[in-house]
């Protein structure tokens, strides 16, 4: 069975600082995708970043980067230069062949002015 773990239920970061949100996963499938989604208090799910299991380079999208360590089975999200609008729930997710798509329990991030 596939499993995704986010061990930080809540995180705080000072505005303009960088923050790392942890995600570890467990799978025996060689092919999978790793995703991060943001859910602000308004409730919508916003896609942030994607990393394929065969990708050699870490994914980056603007202020977001994914620190992919395949041997450790970790896919941490790094947000640089935090902004007040980054305060939200952040979900790590995995997808597998057959479009199975599972989410971690989420991390609540609060950016302090």
- In the complex, which residues of this chain contact another protein (CB under 8 A)? 31-33, 35, 39, 43-45, 47, 50, 52, 89, 91, 93, 95-103, 105-106, 108
**14 backbone dihedrals φ, ψ, rounded to 5°:** -75, 140
Residues 61/64/69/72 CA torsion (nearest 10 deg): -140
Nearer Cβ to another protein (12/101): 101
Nearer Cβ to another protein (42/113): 42
Cβ at position 13, least distance to another protein in Å: 19
Which is nearest to 91 in space by CA: 49, 32, 30? Answer: 49
């Amino acid at each position: 069975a596939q499993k995704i773990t986010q061990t930080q239920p809540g995180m705080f970061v000072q505005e303009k600082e960088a923050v790392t949100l942890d995600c570890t996963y467990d799978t025996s499938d060689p092919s999978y995708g790793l995703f991060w989604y943001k859910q602000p208090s308004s409730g919508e799910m916003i896609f942030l970043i994607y990393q394929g299991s065969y990708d050699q380079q870490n994914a980056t999208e603007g202020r977001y980067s994914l620190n992919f360590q395949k041997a450790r089975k970790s896919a941490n999200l790094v947000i640089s230069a935090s902004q007040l609008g980054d305060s939200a729930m952040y979900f790590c997710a995995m997808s597998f062949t057959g479009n199975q798509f599972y989410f971690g329990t989420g991390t609540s991030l609060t950016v302090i002015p």
